[in-house]
Structure 1
Amino acid sequence: MRATFTLGRISGVRIGVHWSVLLIFGIIAFGLAQGRLPQVYPGHSPVEYWVAGLGAAVVFFASLLAHELAHAVVARRNGVVVDDIVLWLLGGVARLKSEASSPAAELRTAGVGPLVSLVLGGLFVLGAWLLAMVSAPELLVEVVAWLGGINLLLAVFNSLPAAPLDGGRLLRAFLWWRTGDRLRATAGATMAGRVLGWLLIGLGLVAFMRGGGLGGLWLALIGWFLIAAATAEGRQAQLRGVLAGVPVRDAMTRDPLTVPAALTVADLLADPLYRYRHSAFPVTGADGAPVGLVTLDGARQVPPENSGAVTVGEVMVPLSRTTVAGTDDSLADLLPRMEPGAEHRVLVMDKGRLVGILSLSDISRTVTWLMNAAPRP
């Protein structure tokens, strides 16, 4: 699940939002402001209903963020590096740069999310009861009670044993413990996710045809997202299984062509050596050490009238924002950190020296070679 846009960072973890969050945010705010709140507590102004609805939606997504941050904190304590957190239609996902080292670590990392949602739900329910006891504004009581219910529902839904939900990871931890095979365990959790997705689609369509209205279509939409996410997770697991034990040096492009940081953008774009070979190049400083990565698309963003005065060093992606790997690093562990696009090339270093560059197409070629070279029954 890739983020559509980024909100910022918390404790070094990038927080991203998928476009589907905007859909659910609007549905929550509209449903409360124009549906539930006026029905339960009529007589208030539209502004009050909308303030309550928008506030509930914001706090709900803060609850989702707390859920995912709990995953990130426990993952770090178990030696797993967290890449980012992406909020999406079904809640959120903490993308990990590596796998848990054991079924127990997987269990702890996956289980803490629903636990946090359960605790938050209980606190919101308690808060609603206390607010009602002191005769707080009725809209406030209703919103806090709704937040309690939705967090409890989130805890239950995320505990369903199907990937990519937390319950799917709990199922994977159990299957991993029983079989000793992480790949088989992932395949089992992925299959459960697809089955649950198709079940939700079927139930949603039946409910819609029987007069369930948008509720049935909403259930089917959740099922569709679940199938897509489970399928993507399953494919990545298969790739990681194929690439298990393969080092980066076996897939990288060796001795890549580099660009001096002091070269002007005009010279970069005019030189056929750069124009016709690749779409991204490592950038080196005066001492020859890598300092970043430049893409031809990024260079072309410079207005032609300024390209003679702007250097490559000014338009490159700095090394601090570029993925760097070692020659002996595992391709399977590196794969979750890689993204499409020339700006996401991986620079391969050996003892501080640039020795290669790696793209998703390099990994694709390696996978094709490995599958064709595998012995056939």
Structure 2
Amino acid sequence: MPSGGIPIGKLFGISLILHYSWFFIFALVTWALTTGYFPVAYPDWSLTTSIIASLVTSLLFFASVLAHEMMHSIVARSSGIPVKSITLFIFGGVAQISEEPKEPRTEFKIAIAGPLTSIVLGGIFIGIWLLLPTRFEALTAVSFWLGWINLFLAGFNLLPGFPLDGGRVLRSILWWRSGNLRRATRWASNVGRGLGFAIIFAGIWMIFYGLWFNGIWLAFIGWFLTNAAARSYHQVVLQHMLQGHTVREIMNRDCLTVPPNITIDKLVNDHILPSGNHCLVVTTGSRLQGMVTLQNVKAFPRRQWANKTVVEVMTPLDKIQRVNPDDDLASVLKMLTEQDINQLPVVENDNIVGIIGRDNLLSFINVRDRLGI
């Protein structure tokens, strides 16, 4: 999932984001249409006509990509799966679906919705091209290109390589037949990696035959698919390892706490340096007040450490995430990853009962991985 970008609004309650790489691919598609496709297909057009047609075509193409991802999202939400956002980036679009489907049928419906949308859009644009009179040449030209590119988009996404839509369709079928999500994901991911390597080799072959730009671009797509397949399988393995286990099992019960009224100097010299902890819980008695990290401390010049107190630099309770001892480990891993934090306080009845961090989860995962369970 690409991180960062520019929010451009919401559609059906789903945030829409333009990743910074999208501007590059938008400019590249527009340039290719302006200098390559339209001047060759329509040599009588002026440069201005080609530029306008290219801009309109590029915008409608990415609107088609958005529609593809939006349909994934709508079907996911109708199945009770939250969708946070849709991001358009250099390789198209991706919907940030918050959790994996619980059954193969749901996976199949979500996966197939996008390609079907692209097929329908392709049919509509081809229909416009066929039905409009020839005097509407610019409109028919745009429609022709959009029709075939949407059909190509559907065909490419239906290739049976996870995590492409076709790979997810394949996984849903394998999951249904085997009853084992992890095994189905491994098989579908292996197909995805094989497909990615094949695309890379095809790109290298094109480079040797002088098609440098197309070859490099194709190899880059293959590399992205290969890595995405491996990463997706790794995520499912982690989910499988953490499934059914709670925070209570691995949290640190003897978490280091500090009072809110000590200075940063005292915090560093008496607590952080001797313990090596990067994150400490701030409490009054057993009541949680907040957390203080190295980042909080480093935000202030060292000359102020003797005068600043913990309460002035800590992250207060109302601004930190917290977990319950009975929360499942998969949700904790997701929270740590999405919020880009290392540790979370474990709170029960407004009292701090422990702390859980990435190191706890990594240790838990490594042990289970070595044991093969």
TM bucket normalised to smaller: 0.7 to 0.9
Q: Would you say 1:271 and 2:270 are equivalent positions?
A: no
Q: Which amino acid aligns with 1:208?
A: I
Q: After alignment, is 277-286 or 229-238 more displaced?
A: 277-286
Structure 1 portions without partners, runs of 5+ = none
Q: After alignment, is 75-84 or 215-224 more displaced?
A: 75-84
Q: Would you say 1:75 and 2:76 are equivalent positions?
A: yes
Q: After alignment, is 77-86 or 65-74 more displaced?
A: 77-86
How far does the alpha carbon of each residue in 1:287-342 deviate from its partner, in whole angstroms, 9 at most, with x for none?
A: 94667x6654366456889998999789849857x655433233235434542875
Provide the residue aligned with 2:101 in structure 1: 100
Q: Would you say 1:53 and 2:54 are equivalent positions?
A: yes
How far does the alpha carbon of each residue in 1:76-133 deviate from its partner, in whole angstroms, 9 at most, with x for none?
A: 2222233443333433332333221111111111111112222222223334445x42
Aligned partner of 1:359 among 357, 360, 371: 357
Q: Would you say 1:166 and 2:162 are equivalent positions?
A: no
Provide the residue aligned with 2:7 in structure 1: 7
Q: CA deviation at 1:244?
A: 2.6
Report the Cα distance in structure 2 between the residues aligned to 1:347 and 1:219, rounded to whole angstroms. Answer: 46
Provide the residue aligned with 2:248 in structure 1: 249
Report the Cα distance in structure 2 between the residues aligned to 1:280 and 1:15, rounded to whole angstroms. Answer: 34
Q: Which amino acid aligns with 2:109?
A: R
Report the Cα distance in structure 1 between the residues aligned to 2:119 and 2:297, rounded to whole angstroms. Answer: 49
Provide the residue aligned with 2:206 in structure 1: 207
Provide the residue aligned with 1:118 in structure 2: 119
Say whether the 8 Å CA contact 2:292–2:313 is kept in structure 1.
Answer: no
CA gap 1:159/1:297 in 2 versus in 1, 3 angstroms: same
CA gap 1:81/1:340 in 2 versus in 1, 3 angstroms: closer
Report the Cα distance in structure 2 between the residues aligned to 1:232 and 1:115, rounded to whole angstroms. Answer: 26
Q: Which amino acid aligns with 2:138?
A: L
Say whether the 8 Å CA contact 1:128–1:141 is kept in structure 2.
Answer: yes
Report the Cα distance in structure 2 between the residues aligned to 1:169 and 1:367, rounded to whole angstroms. Answer: 25
CA gap 1:311/1:226 in 2 versus in 1, 3 angstroms: same
Provide the residue aligned with 2:368 in structure 1: 370
Q: CA deviation at 1:56?
A: 2.7
Q: Percent identity?
A: 35
Say whether the 8 Å CA contact 1:206–1:216 is kept in structure 2.
Answer: yes
Report the aligned-residue RMSD.
3.7
Does 1 or 2 have the higher relative contact order (CA < 8 Å, sep 6+)?
A: 1
Q: Structure 2 length as normaliser, TM-score?
A: 0.81
Q: Would you say 1:87 and 2:83 are equivalent positions?
A: no
Q: Which amino acid aligns with 1:91?
A: G
Report the Cα distance in structure 1 between the residues aligned to 2:288 and 2:25, rounded to whole angstroms. Answer: 47
Q: After alignment, is 234-243 or 180-189 more displaced?
A: 234-243
> Counterpart of 2:88 in 1: which secondary structure?
strand
> Counterpart of 1:93 in 2: which secondary structure?
strand
Q: CA deviation at 1:232?
A: 0.8
How far does the alpha carbon of each residue in 1:125-153 deviate from its partner, in whole angstroms, 9 at most, with x for none?
A: 334445x42733x3343223322222221
> Counterpart of 2:162 in 1: which secondary structure?
coil
- Taking the TM superposition and a 5 Å limit, the aligned residue runs for 1:184-333 are 184-254=183-253, 256=255, 267-268=263-264, 271-272=267-268, 276=273, 277-280=276-279, 288=287, 295-297=293-295, 300-301=298-299, 316=315, 324-333=322-331
> Counterpart of 2:62 in 1: which secondary structure?
helix
Structure 2 portions without partners, runs of 5+ = none
How far does the alpha carbon of each residue in 1:7-60 deviate from its partner, in whole angstroms, 9 at most, with x for none?
A: 256355444455543443232111012221222234555454334333333332
Report the Cα distance in structure 1 between the residues aligned to 2:292 and 2:257, rounded to whole angstroms. Answer: 9
Report the Cα distance in structure 1 between the residues aligned to 2:258 and 2:34, rounded to whole angstroms. Answer: 56
Q: Which amino acid aligns with 1:148?
A: G
Report the Cα distance in structure 2 between the residues aligned to 1:106 and 1:337, rounded to whole angstroms. Answer: 23
CA gap 1:141/1:268 in 2 versus in 1, 3 angstroms: farther
Q: Which amino acid aligns with 2:110?
A: T
> Counterpart of 1:100 in 2: which secondary structure?
coil
CA gap 1:247/1:42 in 2 versus in 1, 3 angstroms: same
Say whether the 8 Å CA contact 2:287–2:352 is kept in structure 1.
Answer: no
Report the Cα distance in structure 2 between the residues aligned to 1:30 and 1:263, rounded to whole angstroms. Answer: 61
Q: Structure 1 length as normaliser, TM-score?
A: 0.80
**Which one has a bigger Cα radius of gyration?**
2
Say whether the 8 Å CA contact 1:269–1:296 is kept in structure 2.
Answer: no
